[in-house]
Structure 1
């Protein structure tokens, strides 16, 4: 069996297991470059409406009507602009996207074009939509398709509509990507980018699920289902196993909930035998009430997404396995529900972690760093990774500093930080490096334990410093604080409103560019 067919077979197994609503959306097809004469069609044009290309072809067919319509609408092809014509010259719907004054489009810009088209036709009942791309860039079709796949995502499994209100065929059917690569582009997309699109959808699904539908054990079950048929191994530590290892950090967070914590490890061995893996460690608080240090009610509902870090790292390794990346990798999900109860941890409690190091709880709402202590220690002991990247919706402080436009990057390793910054720009999931100073440790000094789990400012930097105390100084390590970036209040071309799945594209790009 060829590499492509093997990868496709594995991914189809993933698709059948992943219950993503994205699977009910438009299927992607790859066809020759040709401008259809009717139907629902999307084309692009550079600023100034130059002659040549699909715009000129349609204009010639209509005796100049397309240019006249553009002039009447004031459409000049500026970046991110669009001209939409319905019932025009035999077309059910003609969408013209402006590219601006640009030459060769980057992969990110191509993905945005695909996403814009998919979103524009998300409520259309058209059985088929044709996206025509005039450029000759190698790989353009795959990136257009990838953008369309992640751009058309939606989560509507809990909506109930009457038959007359529910457009069963809306946003479904086929989206044909028409480029000069033609049908030959399909193999590359299916093998290399469809697994990543599926992983992004899976991460978004997990992050969107409410707390009454997703808890630590359920998270594990869903990952098991998603991993079925892939070359992955799964290890799960339950409460007795964690107690035997003295994992006081994760146990302290989970002890207030009737739903017990879990430590989940997903391992992929696609690289050389014995090569140390890349370790991705994620915060997985399936609901964060704050515990005894309870949060205010305003926007507490968003704390169902406090497990996005875990969703991101697990989905990343699923994507690597799906596309047969030549690397070894392990994802670690530190899963707990942080609830107030008579058995919950208290501010002032002292917790001993599996490493032997202790901390004093200043706030039970600083729980993400607590669960990561034991996860970081365990992956170091079991897997001896070559580097560690942890991903967490850790602090509100990073949201204040960066909003949702960037995730915060903290690292003691300049080379690793530079690689992640570059991967962020290339993937469309940008990072902003923030300071990580040694004197932050003074702000975490405790009179009775090795350190405190919070206190002092800057909040995001102090939180990162705390996590870093459980990582050997010689080991390349980075902390990504994705609070804010994990949720979109308004849609972008490739990220609809809601859970963004932030980090899957970033980490996949990081692996592609620096470890393959």
Structure 2
């Protein structure tokens, strides 16, 4: 169920809602809204603080029922941590934890005064946007492949208001659009591969285009791609009964004739590794190997919903990588769409083989202003950066700076790794123009170096989201990253 967001300017003690949220710092420091509630309730909050029931620890929460003098039925007191070190990341965390706590309560509506908390260097529109996105993220439930639940269950949170004046409306509007994109990405990535295959992604893209006046969708099947010369992409797809698709969404929000910005997303709907078969343990997580596709599609949805005044294209090469009698093999030499030949040293390095053809096709057909690809490309990037930062590689310092700044603004952060020509020699081959892997060292960088061979003359950047696209473990869900980062980058470009 989608959360409905709004703004509220009422005093916290007067708002008639199922639950009102206020913040308290450590050492008993009350926020302005908490102090107002405390005064109306005859010092109830201060007594709870003095007794130790309210600690103020960041992300903690304490529920109070119907205090006298307060119109709300419940008060959720959320810990903010130490006031001196409160920052943007802490603000996001406490709003996420507050929404999770709300989700455990039998309430249908709530009003949060956490957006009144001061965050150094951030205005109310930013605070509302981050709070709404964190709340929507916490409220998301994957239900597509579960038995339908009893409709007579307890109430669930459906409406959340944030304390802010009209100046914050722009932030709320952006949050609603970006949340739509994040949910689109998460739902697509969470679906199992027996449902979410290349044809399914194409159908979802087409269905979205059908609802939007300024959006069109083009889908190439394997026959059309073979005629065009997609030798690298088609080789990866050969082992699967699920045929590949190349999906291109176009949004014309700018002027006619303006070159578009371009996203390209890796859409491997299941990656067994092919003939270079992956170990069985954890292979179920390889349904998330289309996280790049999900991310760029989600960012495209967000841009359209925000009505950005620019032109945008989103290209998704989508395949399944499976072992079969017709699968491509280590030592095969492929001819890519660009004409460069590729020696296959490992069939589990398939993402770059579908991306290289997609990048070539995108550049040839759209001559974009800038092109950004997103891909769950390498385990090496996870080793280097963990689950917190996406890897960013580009030869264009200005483009890299733009993307890094967008990540800092949205807290969907990336970290730049080098893309020096020094690393290119690791891809030397005795049998083709380039090898598809560069050995054990600098794996994330050599993967980007491979892609750079197919982006000559393009203003291009690569995001490796292997560590950030989903949470670990058997119950880990897709995160929806890097939708927020890419949406912010486009917002900045649209002025």
Q: Same fold (TM over 0.5)?
A: yes
Helix, strand or coil: the match of 1:343?
A: coil
- Shift of residue 462, structure 1, vs aligned partner: 1.1
Residue 246 of structure 1 corresponds to 229
Q: Tell me which of 422, 444, 449 is aligned to 1:465.
A: 449
> Alpha carbons of 1:169 and 1:427: their partners in 2 closer, same or farther (altered >3 Å)?
same
Listed one character per residue, the Cα deviations across residues 112-169 of structure 1 (whole Å, up to 9, x for unaligned) are 4543332211132212222124459542444433332233112122223764xx7734
Pick aligned residue for 1:130 from 106, 111, 123 = 111
Correspondence for 1:194 = 176
* 1:319 positional shift: 1.2
Decide which of 28, 49, 65 is 1:70's aligned counterpart. Answer: 49
3-state SS in 2 of match to 1:336:
strand
- C-alpha deviations, 1:79-125, integer Å up to 9, x for none? 43433335655765321123345589877665545433322111322
- 1:170 Cα offset (Å): 4.3
Deviation at 1:48, TM superposition (A): 4.2
Residues 195-248 of structure 1: per-residue CA shift (max 9 Å, x gap): 111000000011111100110011110122223322111111111110111101
Question: In structure 2, what is the equivalent of residue 356 of structure 1?
Answer: 339
Structure 1 range deviating more: 106-115 or 255-264: 106-115
Aligned pair 1:306/2:289, yes or no?
yes
What residue number does 1:35 align with?
Answer: 12
Correspondences of 1:371-390 after superposition (within 5 Å): 371-390=354-373
Distance of 2:483 and 2:152 partners within structure 1: 31
Task: Give unmatched runs, 5+ long, in structure 1.
Answer: 1-23, 491-495
Match for residue 225 of structure 1 among 204, 207, 211: 207
Distance in structure 1 (CA, Å) of the matches to 2:305 and 2:22: 32
Q: Could you tell me how far 1:64 is from its partner in structure 2?
A: 1.6
Maintained 8 Å contact 2:390/2:465: yes
**Counterparts of 1:374 and 1:338, CA distance in 2:** 16
Matched, 1:512 2:491: yes
User: What is the aligned-residue RMSD (CA, Å)?
Assistant: 2.5
The answer as to 2:301 corresponding to 1:318 is yes
Structure 1 residues 385 and 26, CA gap change in structure 2 (3 angstroms): closer
Is the CA contact (8 Å cut-off) linking 2:60 and 2:97 kept in structure 1? no
**SS across alignment from 2:402:** helix
**Equivalent residue in structure 2 for 1:149, among 136, 148, 159:** 136
Q: What are the residue-to-residue correspondences of 1:436-515 with 2, within 5 Å?
A: 436-456=419-439, 457-472=441-456, 474-489=457-472, 498-515=477-494
Asked if the contact 1:33–1:134 (Cα under 8 Å) also holds between the matched residues in 2, the reply is no
Q: Deviations over 1:319-375 (max 9, x none)?
A: 111111111111110100001111111111110011111101111110000001110
Report the equivalent of 2:23: 44
Residue of structure 2 in register with 1:370 after alignment: 353
Aligned: 1:159 with 2:140? no
Q: Secondary structure at the match of 2:266?
A: strand
Q: Structure 2: any 5+ residue segments left out of the alignment?
A: none
Corresponding residue for residue 80 of structure 2: 99
Distance in 1, matches of 2:152 and 2:347, equals: 46
CA distance in 2, matches of 1:510, 1:52: 33
In the alignment, the residues of structure 1 paired with residue 244 and residue 261 of structure 2 have an alpha-carbon distance, to the nearest angstrom, of 24
After TM superposition, the structure 1 = structure 2 runs for residues 168-207 of structure 1, keeping only pairs within 5 Å, are 168-181=153-166, 188=170, 191-207=173-189
Distance in 2 of aligned mates of 1:216 and 1:302: 17
**How far apart are the structure 2 equivalents of 1:480 and 1:162?**
38
Deviates more, 1:245-254 or 1:106-115: 106-115
Equivalent of 2:192 in 210, 215, 219: 210
Q: Choose 71-80 or 323-332, whichever is displaced more.
A: 71-80
Contact 1:25–1:171 under 8 Å retained in 2: no
CA distance in 1, matches of 2:88, 2:391: 24
Distance 1:399 1:240, change over 3 A: same
Shift in Å, 1:49: 3.8
| Alignment size in residue pairs | 482
- Quote the residue 1:4 is aligned against: none
Give the distance between the partners of 1:275 and 1:25, measured in 2 at CA. Answer: 35
Query: What is the SS of the residue equivalent to 2:256?
Result: coil
- Partner in structure 2 of residue 409 of structure 1: 392
Gap change, CA 1:442 and 1:135, over 3 Å in 2? closer
Q: Describe the superposition over 1:374-407 as per-residue Cα deviations: whole angstroms up to 9, x where unpaired.
A: 1011011100011111110001111111110111
CA distance change for structure 1 residues 51 and 335 in 2, over 3 Å: closer, same or farther? closer
**Structure 1 residues 185 and 409 mapped into 2: Cα distance closer, same or farther (>3 Å)?**
closer
Q: What corresponds to 2:33 in structure 1? A: 54
Residue 85 of structure 1 contacts residue 95 of structure 1 at CA under 8 Å; is this kept in 2? Answer: yes
- Partner Cα distance (1:514, 1:161) in 2: 43
TM-score, length-scaled by structure 1: 0.87
Q: TM-score, normalised by structure 2?
A: 0.90
2:320 corresponding residue in structure 1: 337
Say whether the 8 Å CA contact 2:58–2:90 is kept in structure 1.
Answer: no
